A and B are shown apart, each in its own frame.
Chain A
Amino acid sequence: DQQVKQNSPSLSVQEGRISILNCDYTNSMFDYFLWYKKYPAEGPTFLISISSIKDKNEDGRFTVFLNKSAKHLSLHIVPSQPGDSAVYFCAATLTGTASKLTFGTGTRLQVTL
């Protein structure tokens, strides 16, 4: 089941620069997308989400972009901080039901000094 894919297992970015994490999906029925951050030995923490009726959602340093035609979304973190170092999961779902979240495999972000 590869409905949600994160093709980059890891990313290293310098503090203060932009981090861009990418996610692709194959199921065109998905209409709501989320990013979660996960530290070791903790559960996923909700970060930001976007509905398929939008192409951008911003919350502080975090912005999610959605390109429905390409079935692609990305998370931008500007400026990146050392505390942002974590594994980032993209997830997708179909709204209107208590639907399951379908997760990608995650991208490990390392923000270096």
Chain B
Amino acid sequence: EPEVTQTPSHQVTQMGQEVILRCVPISNHLYFYWYRQILGQKVEFLVSFYNNEISEKSEIFDDQFSVERPDGSNFTLKIRSTKLEDSAMYFCASSEVLRTDTQYFGPGTRLTVL
């Protein structure tokens, strides 16, 4: 069964450093998403992406964040200058063009900012 994959599974970084989280969406999906879950809190939407453009973003997704589809298979989330409060699980998701309501999630990357 096709699945969304994410690397790395765990990333530890120093405050102020840049991190890039990587995702490989399901191959025939064209909508991509990033969500995050701070420990003990709910899963929160960050951004959706289609046709090399951001479709929608939340207020969390400020100038420190960017997304990119650098090639035909990867989808990345970059945090330019990490803060302590960026520590969270980051989930990538993807969906079909005609079924954007049903999103399939990857296993997540645990980001720890020290």
Seen from chain A, the residues whose Cβ lies within 8 Å of a Cβ on chain B are 32, 34, 36, 41-46, 49, 89, 91, 93, 95, 97-106
Contacts and interface: CB of A to CB of B under 8 A. Distances in A.
A103 B42 contact: yes
A99 B56 contact: yes
Contacts, number: 64
Main secondary structure of the interface of A (DSSP, over half): loop
A42 B109 CA distance: 10
Contacts of B106: 43
Interface centre among A36, A102, A103 (most CB of B within 10 A): A103
Contact of A101 (B55, B103, B107): B103
22 contacts: A34-B102, A43-B107, A44-B43, A45-B105, A46-B102, A46-B103, A46-B104, A49-B101, A89-B43, A91-B43, A95-B101, A97-B100, A98-B33, A98-B56, A99-B100, A100-B45, A100-B58, A101-B45, A102-B45, A103-B43, A104-B42, A105-B41
The 5 closest A-B pairs by CB, nearest first: A100-B45, A43-B105, A98-B55, A103-B43, A98-B48
Contact of B91 (A34, A44, A49, A93): A44
Interface size class of B (residues with CB under 8 A): 20 to 34
B68 interface: no
Interface of B: 4, 6, 31, 33, 35, 41-45, 48, 50, 55-56, 58, 91, 93, 95, 100-108
Nearest to B91: A43
A100 B49 CA distance: 11
Main secondary structure of the interface of B (DSSP, over half): strand
Contacts of B108: 41-43
A43 B6 CA distance: 10
A46 B105 CA distance: 8
Given A98-B56, A99-B56, A100-B58, A32 B4 contact: no
A85 B98 CA distance: 32
A41 B107 contact: yes
A100 B56 contact: yes
B105 A36 contact: yes
A39 to B, nearest CB: 10
